[in-house]
Amino acid sequence: MKNWKKAAAMAVTASLCITALAGCGGSSKTEEKTDSTEKKSASDNTLHYQIGVAIDSLNPQLANDGTSFSVLAQCMEGLYTKDEDGNAILAAAESVDKSDDGLTYTFKLRDDAKWSDGSDVTADDFVYAWQTLADPNTGSEYQFFVQTACLLNADDIVAGNKPVTDLGVEAVDDKTLKVTLSSPCAVFESLMTFPSFLPVKRDFAQEAGDNFATSADTILCNGAFKITDYEPSAMTIKAEKNDDYYDAGDVKLDGVEWQVILDNQTAAMSYESGDLDVVTLTGDLIEQYQDDENFSTSQDGYMWYISPNTEIKELANENIRLALAKSFDKEAVTDTLLKDGSTPADYIVAENLAVSPDGTEFRKQAGTYDNWTYDVDAAKEYWSKGLSELGIDSLELELVTEDSDSAQQVAQFLQNEWQTNLEGLTVSIKVEPKKARLEDMQNGNYQLGLTRWGPDYADPMTDLDCFITGSSTNYGRYSNTEYDDTIDSAKYGELALDTEARWNALVDCEKMLADDCVVFPIYQQSIARMISPNVSGIYFYSTGSNYSFKYAEKK
């Protein structure tokens, strides 16, 4: 890296205090255990945990980000949950009978599965929740999951051609749930650990109406903890041990308090004073703490990338996209700005997410792609061609980013790289709260967007499904018939029945994204943390909800 580039990166670093990277949804786990020392820690038996962004929603069928999903996962359980290694295990269901053809799952719910008001968790709670998820009127960003799970009639219901009552989920009796699929689903059990499939008590939700899940009084929990203090955009969310939880005897904590702290310097000070038990670190704070015995890092599945809006004339030009994708130094982002163990990415399917039927990790088979590598000379050539094709000699573009300090820092670095390396390019930055940024990108009201995606389940499909035509996560409006048909077959068609052919087809799909250059990968996120030496038993995951506090304890 040239000295001037290091200087530019350091200047950006100095301008901002980096905060925690937070998102959405290959199961991997890091168990954080430390020995008791004289380190000061919050003295009560409540876990005090920093999060970097406000909760978007605690309605399971409307939540759409990793922060919300992770809070929900501490307070609610579906048919399955994750063990310490991230594998799907039965939770609210005590048994399951699978048909030989893979199309029918019959679950028996636990007799002692209870809501936090003491009432039984019933099969109808799942029917109501899943029908709500599938209902086009709900407006869930994860509505497509009923299709990913291959639930019977999901396609027609999502399209508005059949009523939600035709969805392949049925309450045979209070404790028996029958699920019918349209085709075998290789990732069904993993999907069932995801918060969108959590149950909701019908009469409670209907009585709450539009206020459902907007306060502690309008939330029912069936997990290890129950929400006691919450309101939209709250900076503090509190939960206490749920004595009605069937496995309450194994829950050691009295409660959890999540604190939304955007500034990591402030969070670190709270950790030092003992007001926080767990904080996330980035940038200069990592250098400050990296030799501490309570410091740790773990790779997760979140991919950060730029989404170009291909409906914009200039960004519909492939050479312009190639120039933008190849003209910024990813190593400078990870090594000079973030310094948290994150890795440069010339790929979009996360590393260490999933393995093939023969045991080959996806990234080792797929490799990386030239269109996404850093190459300023090649970028300049593409830029010149693109401008010539458009009949212009300069271009102004706007990059939208969310308001966390780390995202703004990366955005400023990209702005500097693009304007330095691509003559005639001017990039402005629009900073918005995350929710507003997502809405603008989903509605196509943007040009370039800095965004991220976390894997929801342990399969390459969790990343590749984002880019099918019409998907709410396909911000850039990419449309490729071959790509769509391949993904469709891998989910529901002939490829779904041939695991090896399906795997190879998904490798080809990632290559299509690279060949068309409709997304610009930047890095795969890692998380650096300080965890109080008095705390043990927290499990961190790379898919879906990011952690579990069920077995956490404080000494």
pLDDT for residue 97: 98
For 511-530, what is the mean pLDDT?
Answer: 96
Helix ranges (DSSP H) in 422-527:
434-442, 461-464, 481-492, 499-516
pLDDT at 117 exceeding the cut of 70: yes
Could you tell me the fold of the domain covering 301-526? Dipeptide-binding Protein; domain 3 (3.10.105)
Domain 48-254+532-554 and domain 301-526 have a common topology: no
Mean pLDDT for the chain?
90
pLDDT at 39 exceeding the cut of 70: no
Rama region for 99: left / alpha / beta (φ>0; ψ in -120 to 50; rest): beta
The CATH architecture one would assign to domain 48-254+532-554 is Alpha-Beta Complex (3.90)
For 212-220, what is the mean pLDDT?
Answer: 97
pLDDT confidence of 158, banded at 50, 70, 90? Answer: very high
Return the minimum-mean-pLDDT range out of 303-317, 379-393, 455-469: 455-469
Percentage of the chain exceeding pLDDT 90: 76
The 10s digit of each residue's pLDDT in 219-252 is 999 999 999 999 998 999 999 999 999 999 999 9
Q: Is the dihedral of CA 305, 310, 312, 315 positive or negative?
A: positive
pLDDT at 19 exceeding the cut of 60: no
pLDDT for residue 18: 33
Percentage of the chain exceeding pLDDT 70: 92
Alpha-carbon distances of 488 from 185, 192, 470, rounded to whole Å:
12, 20, 13
pLDDT for residue 362: 94
| CA atoms of 144 and 64, how far apart (whole Å) | 12
For 192-206, what is the mean pLDDT?
Answer: 97
Report domain extents, the chain: 48-254+532-554, 301-526
pLDDT for residue 43: 55
